[in-house]
Amino acid sequence: MSDNTLILGLQWGDEGKGKIVDNLSESIDVVCRFQGGHNAGHTIKVNGQKTVLHLIPSGILHINTKCLIGNGVVLALDALHKEIKHLEEKGISFQDRFFISSACTLILPTHITLDIVKDKKESIGTTGRGIGPAYEDKIGRRAIRFGDLGDLKSLKEKIYSLVKYHNQLLENIYQHKPHDADEVFNEVVKYKELHDKYCIDAPQTMHQWIKNDKSILFEGAQGTLLDIDHGTYPYVTSSSTTAGGVSTGLGIGPKFIDKIIGITKAYTTRVGEGPFPTELHDESGSMLAQKGNEFGATTGRPRRCGWLDLVLLKKAIFMNSVTDLCITKLDVLDEMQEIKVCTNYHNGVPVYKNFEGWLTKTEGISVFSDLPEKARLYIQFIEDFVECNASIISTGPSRNQTILR
């Protein structure tokens, strides 16, 4: 029987999930996204060529791997169309290997406007792409779904009703000009071809894949500390980024998840507002940002950088029942004279354990025993503290710059 694997982030996102999913997808039959939207940015580097995916699962670069966007994802049709065209220009085929759940909630132009005007007032630090308002409509049972494109008459009625509701919010609460419902409808219908090509009953298809013993990889977006319930609320995303989100976001029971790989950087980053106990505002923080190229793949915003927080990491590992740890960007620490990890808090202030830096190049190393001794000790301390073995260690952005243990 084939093993099914969940890959998710254990921090505030940007942990390097895309590379790991791509790395493992070569031997996987299906890769499924289960939450989030085009606020995600998964970067993959192959033969020196960088690809950034926002909606399409990272397995798409392997020609024998099928990809599914599950119902837990909120879908921006213009962004999806652009991403598909970009990949097709690179020679990537989507025929008979790319599918979208009919139950995906659509992001409308009105959602984007609401997101922008609300964030100006509330300062949560969203990407301004309509993700949150789209999830609000989903929970409010008034969302437009991908499958609705199959009946244009009914779709028009639903869009007119929803745009009327959105315009009331825009005009009366945010003093913003309204949207034209006809324009919104025409913008959605413009992408009907996507529905005709890719729309499926996802749980039924998943059931067939399971029956046929297909190996499935579940790809998370963002990270555990941004989970709507368990993250640093209210500075969180609007979806379930933890392991529980797989079942609700795809329509598959938890017993079909055999392995859970949790990904963390060798340090910590965060984009946008919200608490960050180990954040650095000194030369060490600047060095991490520079060496790690810490700018958001989706927004381009600089990421806040800090030391690895083992207290939060251990909590995230427990919450997700992580079976295997993956540590990325170890090579970013190569030039650090001193490295710290948070092991406790005293009156809300991090308590650190200090490590001597290894000051030796680790980039590209693919065998654990070839790492400098001080780097091995650093990894072993992390493993012991969080009580989880690091079976994957990334030593660079490319596929082959990976240690598998």
- Please answer whether residues 158 and 188 qualify as being in contact, where contact means their C-beta atoms are separated by less than 8 angstroms: no
For the question of residue 282 being annotated catalytic, the response is no
Instruction: Compute the distance between CA of residue 57 and CA of residue 168 in angstroms, rounded to an integer.
Output: 36
Extract the tokens encoding 116.
Answer: 């922008």
Q: Which residues contact 97 (CB under 8 A, 6 or more apart)?
A: 63, 65, 66, 67
For the question of residue 42 being annotated catalytic, the response is yes
Q: Is 19 helix (H, G, I), strand (E, B) or coil?
A: helix
Instruction: Compute the distance between CA of residue 209 and CA of residue 92 in angstroms, rounded to an integer.
Output: 22
User: Which string of b and e fits 219-230 if b means at least 16 CB within 10 Å?
Assistant: bbbbbbbbbbeb
- Please answer whether residues 41 and 55 qualify as being in contact, where contact means their C-beta atoms are separated by less than 8 angstroms: no
Half-sphere exposure for 291 (CA within 13 Å, toward CB): 21
343: left (phi over 0), alpha (psi -120 to 50) or beta: alpha
Closest alpha carbon to 381 in 345, 346, 353: 353
- Please answer whether residues 126 and 272 qualify as being in contact, where contact means their C-beta atoms are separated by less than 8 angstroms: yes
Q: Which residues contact 136 (CB under 8 A, 6 or more apart)?
A: 238
Q: Which of these is catalytic: 14, 227, 309, 331?
A: 14
Looking at this protein, which amino acid is placed at residue 195? H
Q: Which residues contact 3 (CB under 8 A, 6 or more apart)?
A: 215, 258, 259
On the 0-12 / 13-18 / 19+ scale of CB atoms within 10 A, 64 is exposed
- Please answer whether residues 226 and 236 qualify as being in contact, where contact means their C-beta atoms are separated by less than 8 angstroms: yes
- Please answer whether residues 234 and 222 qualify as being in contact, where contact means their C-beta atoms are separated by less than 8 angstroms: no
Looking at this protein, which amino acid is placed at residue 310? L
Q: Which of these is catalytic: 42, 179, 195, 230?
A: 42
Other beta carbons within 10 angstroms of residue 318's beta carbon come to 12
Residue with tokens 């810490």: 294
Instruction: Compute the distance between CA of residue 226 and CA of residue 220 in angstroms, rounded to an integer.
Output: 12
Extract the tokens encoding 349.
Answer: 């202030």
Residue with tokens 């209210």: 234
Catalytic residues: 14, 42
